[in-house]
Every structure is written in C-alpha cells, then in structure tokens.
C-alpha cells in the first residue's frame, strides 16, 4: 500500500525537473518545490510519533493513504500554484504517517528477521545478513555508496552515470536499513515510536537541505553537489564509529576482571 501511495509522488521527481524550463522554473525553484514536503516533516514527524503512541497503527496508516491520494490528485492542477504547494505540505504529513507506520510494522511484526523485513519494505531484498552484523552492513554499504557517488563525478557518458547512480542509491538504502535496525535493537515498544520519529525528523533535515542546497549548488555545475554528497556520506562513518563506541566507564568495566 505504501509503495502504491509513493508511486504518484515519485513521478513528480522526474516530471518536474524535465518540465522546469517550460514552466519557467530554475534549478533553485525546483529544489524548493521538491524539498517543501520534507521541511514540513520536521513538524509532522513528531506529531506522527505522538499519534502512534495513542491510536491504533492500522487506522493511522489508512489516514496516511487517504492524505496521499488527495495530495497526489492535486498535482493535476498545475495552474493553481497555491494548491500545488499545499499538496506538497499535505504529502509531507501523509509520508510521516506511512513511513513511521511501515517502520513500526516491520520492527514489531518480526522476530529475529527484522533486517530482512526492513529490506523487504524498501524493496531491497536479502538483507538477512544485516540481522547478524549491523555494524559491518553499515560500514560496507556506506563505503560502496561513497565510492559510487564520487565516481559519478568522473562518469564519461550517460550509461555510466545512471549505473553508478543506481549503485549509490542501492548502497545508501542498505545503510539506512542498517541504521533503522540498530534503532530497533536499542529501543522498546514504549519508546520506539518517539525515537523513530526523531530519527525520521533528522533524516528529513538532511533530505530537505540536500534538495534545496543541491538545487542552489547545481547553478554552478553538477560536480560540486555530487562531490559534497560523497564527502557527507563518508562523514557518516565517523559518526557511526562515535555512536558505536562504548562510554569510557563502560569500556573500563569490561576490561577490568
């Protein structure tokens, strides 16, 4: 159901850049429109987390699907710019509900195979390795994503560009699944919705800033935002190592017989 709801909105990410010149939009304007639904999720993600703590998850997912249908249908009215922008905001709330509901369903509805369930949810199958080695999965997939993004800047033709971009996307999604699995392992039913909601919010900060900033940087050429993306991906390895390192007191206690 989530995939079907996402399909209509995803079409916008290909149709809008292609039609930008005809609509009189520059790269910055396209970035603003595509990031609008992410900026609003900085507010709607905490709201969704509170709702999932208080109401049945299935009912909230149905509401999310209804909002997705309404917002996607509004894209067919391009002459009404305000309606179009409002639809992007409504889609932000819809996706907050659908994403958190999908994550909670994958985590709480499986035992011992959460990594595979999270991978299946994102159509990246065969991630049962992640259930056994979260850290290794994150490091290897992030290294692959970083290398692929960096290689895109040197791609000599469209075929290589698309192939490297697809590899970077696949590796990046695998990294995301590893992070979500790590959160699942460190949370309980009582606090999982709140913590996943906060995680989604921080992820959307990066997504919104990337869409808007990428559009601005693209005015100076495509190589600059892509190179910056590779550097940021590499930086997550440092953050992962810091988050995975036990506190000094705990490490001392483990080392002391």
Summarize pLDDT for 212-224 with one digit per residue, the tens.
776 667 666 667 7
Q: Which of 35, 23, 41, 13 is nearest to 202 (CA)?
A: 41
**Per-residue confidence at 96, pLDDT binned at 50, 70, 90?**
very high
Q: What is the DSSP letter of 124?
A: -
Supply 204's token pair: 């959307």
What percentage of the chain exceeds 90 in pLDDT? Answer: 12
**Per-residue confidence at 32, pLDDT binned at 50, 70, 90?**
confident
**Is the pLDDT confidence value at 255 over 50?**
no
Task: Classify residue 222 by burial, with Cβ atoms within 10 Å: 0-12, 13-18, 19+.
Answer: middle
Q: Which pLDDT score, from 0 to 100, does residue 251 have?
A: 41
Instruction: Output the pTM of the full model.
Output: 0.73
Compute the distance between CA of residue 218 and CA of residue 28 in angstroms, rounded to an integer: 8
Per the listing, tokens 């509004």 go with 74
Name, in order, each residue with C-beta under 8 angstroms of 186's C-beta and a sequence gap of 6 or more. none
Q: Going along the chain, which residue ranges are E strands? A: none
Element (H, E) at 116: helix 114-121
Q: Which pLDDT score, from 0 to 100, does residue 45 have?
A: 93
**Is the pLDDT confidence value at 50 over 90?**
yes
Q: Which pLDDT score, from 0 to 100, does residue 248 have?
A: 47
For residue 133, give the 3-state DSSP assignment.
coil
Name, in order, each residue with C-beta under 8 angstroms of 64's C-beta and a sequence gap of 6 or more. 5, 93, 94, 95, 96, 97, 98, 101
Compute the distance between CA of residue 94 and CA of residue 110 in angstroms, rounded to an integer: 24
Q: Is there a contact between 201 and 49 (Cβ–Cβ < 8 Å)?
A: no
Q: Which pLDDT score, from 0 to 100, does residue 244 have?
A: 67
Q: Which pLDDT score, from 0 to 100, does residue 4 have?
A: 61
């Amino acid at each position: 159901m989530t995939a079907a709801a996402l399909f209509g909105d995803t079409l916008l990410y290909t149709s809008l850049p292609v039609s930008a010149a005809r609509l009189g939009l520059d790269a910055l304007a396209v970035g603003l429109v595509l990031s609008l639904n992410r900026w609003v999720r900085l507010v709607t993600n905490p709201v969704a987390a509170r709702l999932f703590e208080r109401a049945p998850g299935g009912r909230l997912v149905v509401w999310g699907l209804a909002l997705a249908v309404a917002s996607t249908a509004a894209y067919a009215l391009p002459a009404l710019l305000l309606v179009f922008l409002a639809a992007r905001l409504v889609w932000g709330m819809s996706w907050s509900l659908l994403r958190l509901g999908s994550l909670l369903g994958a985590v709480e509805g499986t035992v011992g195979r959460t990594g595979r369930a999270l991978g299946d949810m994102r159509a990246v199958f065969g991630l049962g390795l992640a259930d056994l080695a979260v850290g290794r999965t994150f490091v290897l997939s992030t290294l692959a994503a970083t290398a692929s993004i960096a290689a895109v800047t040197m791609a000599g033709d469209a075929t290589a560009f698309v192939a490297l971009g697809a590899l970077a996307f696949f590796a990046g999604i695998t990294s995301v699944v590893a992070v979500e699995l790590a959160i699942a392992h460190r949370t309980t039913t009582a606090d999982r919705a709140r913590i996943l909601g906060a995680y989604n919010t921080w992820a959307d900060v990066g997504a919104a800033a990337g869409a808007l900033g990428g559009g601005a940087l693209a005015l100076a050429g495509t190589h600059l935002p892509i190179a910056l993306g590779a550097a940021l991906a590499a930086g997550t390895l440092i953050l992962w190592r810091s988050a995975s390192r036990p506190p000094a007191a705990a490490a001392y206690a483990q080392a002391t017989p």
